[in-house]
Amino acid sequence: MQHKDSEPSMHHVQDEELICLADGELTPKQAAQVDAHLEACWECRARMEEIQCTITGFVRTHHAEFDGQLPPADGPRALLRARLAERGSPSQTRW
């Protein structure tokens, strides 16, 4: 039986890389490398699941707590568009 110290150490994926994978921010090559590692490593796969569950929990809490309190995103944009329309197009405006 081999002693654990004689086995080659496995490089684990950093949390930052796992978060980038979850966000789709890795290059296709990087994503493929991380995915291949996740297929072989239970420890990193468990950490990835924890990260995804944390993100899901945050999004659900954010929606539950803040959706009713925040103004709709189109509100300020619509107001800006209306104000710009009142001033006329840039070609009509004299500087």
Q: Which domains does the chain have, with CATH numbers?
A: 11-87 (1.10.10)
Mean pLDDT of the chain: 81
Reported as a single tens digit per residue, the pLDDT across 57-89 is: 999 998 888 777 766 666 777 777 788 888 875
Express as a percent the part of the chain with pLDDT over 70.
76
- Whether the model clears a pTM of 0.75, i.e. scores above it, the answer is no
Provide the H-helix boundaries in 1-95.
Answer: 15-23, 28-40, 42-66, 74-87
Q: Which residue in this structure is represented by tokens 């297929």?
A: 39
